[in-house]
Amino acid sequence: MRDEAEGAGGATIRRATPEDADFIASLLDHEDVEPFLSARRPSTREEVLERIERSRREPTVFGVFVIESDGRLAGTMEFEEGNRRSRIAHLGGLAVHPDFRARGLAEEAAHELKRHLLLDLGYHRLQLEVYAFNERAKRHSERVGFRHEGDRRLAYRRHGTWVGSSLYAVVREDLGLPPGVDLLYELVARHNRREWEWLGDLYTEDAVLEFVGAPVGPFAGREAIVAAYTERPPDDEVRILSAEDGDPVVAHYAWLAEPETDAGTMTLTVRDGLVSRLVVSV
């Protein structure tokens, strides 16, 4: 996700800051919101602040976000890593203030968060669970591309009675990306998670990494590429602005610090499903 991203209908999402804690706590306690959220969800200002601090401290495994419309706070949503090895993230806490409903803001925000988790951070599966009585949430989940995968009967004690829940999920393959573009996003996600050996698995043994406009490299061979990242790790995350499928794949990218500024291009040559050459212009 860009640090701040605007959808077609005017929704903007960003990672929450401590200044947003009062709004989030008030929203989660709203009489038209609280009944549809998990009874275990933290909602006091102090609890919200703790979650915001964790979101800022561990951005690849936990996130608290706010939704804005025309500069006004309109909603919130969260994610948490559920399984690192299988790259599963759990989504929850989506809430839009009643004053901002029926504008498509929740759909825009959910699509952007989905993109961020699957492409920027490399999760393979996103899943969520909603109470069976929450028809609005179930319709929303299907509108933003989540598939209904099953139900839990009488699973939770809520509002003085036992209620069921419905399970929804989306996987990376559901995006339908061309193989070369999918590989590009996977490369960027592993870069952003700063796991260099895992990044190296995407390169062929004789791969070449070349920088144009920067006094580093080229680096020849998988081991040299991994060593280069390990010894001089970048201090920012990459965001793909656009990607054109082909041979090679060509993408324009930005840095998270300036997410709307085109920082250059990435030209990716693929062989046998791996990166054989990557040229990065800066």
- Specify whether 198 is located in the same domain as 170: no
Quick one: tokens of 140?
């929303």
Beta-ladder partners of 13: 5, 67
Domain boundary among 150, 174, 198: 174
CATH number at residue 36: 3.40.630.30
Q: Is the pTM of this model over 0.85?
A: no
Quick one: tokens of 55?
């979101």
Q: Are 169 and 124 in contact (CB under 8 A)?
A: no
Written as tens digits, the pLDDT of the chain (282 aa) is 334 444 445 778 899 999 999 999 988 888 777 766 666 666 788 999 999 999 999 999 999 999 998 889 999 999 999 998 899 999 988 888 888 877 788 889 999 999 999 999 989 999 999 888 888 889 989 999 999 999 999 988 887 899 999 999 999 999 999 999 999 999 999 999 888 988 999 999 999 999 999 888 899 999 999 999 999 998 899 999 999 999 999 999 999 888 889 999 999 999 999 999 999 998
- Specify whether 160 is located in the same domain as 117: yes
Give one DSSP letter per residue of 90-139, joined into a string: EEEEEEE-GGGTTSSHHHHHHHHHHHIIIIIS--SEEEEEEETT-HHHHH
Quick one: tokens of 26?
């008030």
- Specify whether 182 is located in the same domain as 167: no
Q: How many domains does the chain have?
A: 2
- Specify whether 130 is located in the same domain as 218: no
Domain that holds residue 234: 177-281
Segments of the chain assigned E as strands:
4-6, 11-15, 62-69, 72-83, 88-96, 125-131, 147-158, 161-171, 203-212, 219-220, 238-244, 249-255, 264-271, 274-281
- Specify whether 194 is located in the same domain as 122: no
- Specify whether 121 is located in the same domain as 212: no
